[in-house]
């Protein structure tokens, strides 16, 4: 019988939630496909009711505990400057034994990950190609990835862009980013602890 991995996601904002939810499912399905004992992954993570950026710590802890009751894996997103919030949650709660929590912390902001696939960005109508970062190092050195993305794709709807790029970004290009590599390593370790891998 195939096992089924259930996933929950708490993110800072709607665009983060859209992009990271799609990319997480794609990455988890890729991991599942490479394992000898396959497992299925829900197509849409359960999304939290609260923003990890704008909600009091105690309320986030309650939300995490509620989600952990019927989820195997919880993904908690914070931008780099807020990365300590995830460690504080880990310190202040005890997850059920069937659940693991993995932080999702891009360098600076999630928009850095949206900038990772230069060829995809360059293929979009209206893209300003001279502003597209060429290397992973350039992507992660951007002091303001949100502004960088706006220069590459001026005037785009941020939620539509998050969905479009989440569905199409080359995961191999994302894996060139150090923060994405760290996330994948933590994700893999959590799945091993849960005996999915």
What domain range includes position 15? 3-193
First to last CA, the chain: 15
Least confident of 32-41, 69-78, 79-88, 127-136: 79-88
User: Does pLDDT of 150 surpass 70?
Assistant: yes
Domain count, the chain: 1
Q: Could you give the CA distance from residue 87 to residue 155 in angstroms, rounded to a whole number?
A: 36
Q: Could you give the CA distance from residue 93 to residue 104 in angstroms, rounded to a whole number?
A: 18
Residues of the chain with pLDDT > 90: what percent?
77
The pLDDT assigned to 65 comes to 97
User: Does pLDDT of 42 surpass 70?
Assistant: yes
pTM greater than the 0.85 cutoff: yes
The pLDDT assigned to 35 comes to 83
Residue 29: pLDDT band (50, 70, 90) is very high
CA distances from 114 to 111, 121, 154, 197 (A): 5, 9, 14, 28
The pLDDT assigned to 34 comes to 87
Average pLDDT of the segment spanning 164-182: 96
Query: What is the DSSP annotation of 87-114?
Result: HHHHHH----TT-EEEEE--SS-THHHH
Model confidence pLDDT, tens digit, residues 44-88:
899 989 898 889 999 999 999 999 999 999 999 998 777 788 899
Nearest CA to 100 among 10, 186, 178? Answer: 186
Residue 126 CA to chain centroid, in angstroms?
A: 26
Average pLDDT of the segment spanning 176-188: 95
Cβ neighbours of residue 111 under 8 Å, at least 6 residues apart? 145, 146, 148, 149
Q: According to the per-residue pLDDT averaged within each range, which of 16-30, 47-61, 70-84, 151-165 is highest?
A: 16-30
């Amino acid at each position: 019988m195939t096992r089924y991995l259930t996933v929950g996601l708490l993110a800072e904002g709607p665009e983060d939630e859209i992009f990271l939810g799609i990319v997480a499912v794609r990455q988890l399905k890729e991991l599942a496909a490479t394992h000898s004992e396959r497992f299925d992954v829900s197509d849409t993570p359960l999304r939290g009711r609260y923003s990890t950026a704008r909600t009091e710590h105690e309320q986030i802890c309650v939300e995490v505990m509620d989600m952990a009751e019927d989820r195997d894996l919880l993904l908690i997103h914070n931008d780099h400057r807020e990365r300590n919030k995830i460690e504080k949650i880990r310190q202040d709660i005890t997850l059920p034994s069937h659940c693991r929590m993995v932080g999702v912390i891009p360098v600076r902001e999630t928009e850095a990950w949206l900038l990772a696939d230069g060829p995809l960005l360059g293929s979009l109508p209206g893209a300003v190609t001279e502003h597209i970062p060429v290397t992973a190092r350039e992507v992660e050195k951007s002091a303001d990835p949100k502004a960088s993305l706006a220069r590459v794709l001026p005037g785009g709807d941020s939620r539509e862009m998050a969905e479009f790029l989440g569905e199409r970004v080359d995961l191999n290009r994302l894996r060139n980013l150090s923060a994405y590599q760290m996330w994948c390593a933590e994700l893999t370790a959590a799945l091993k602890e849960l005996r999915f891998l």
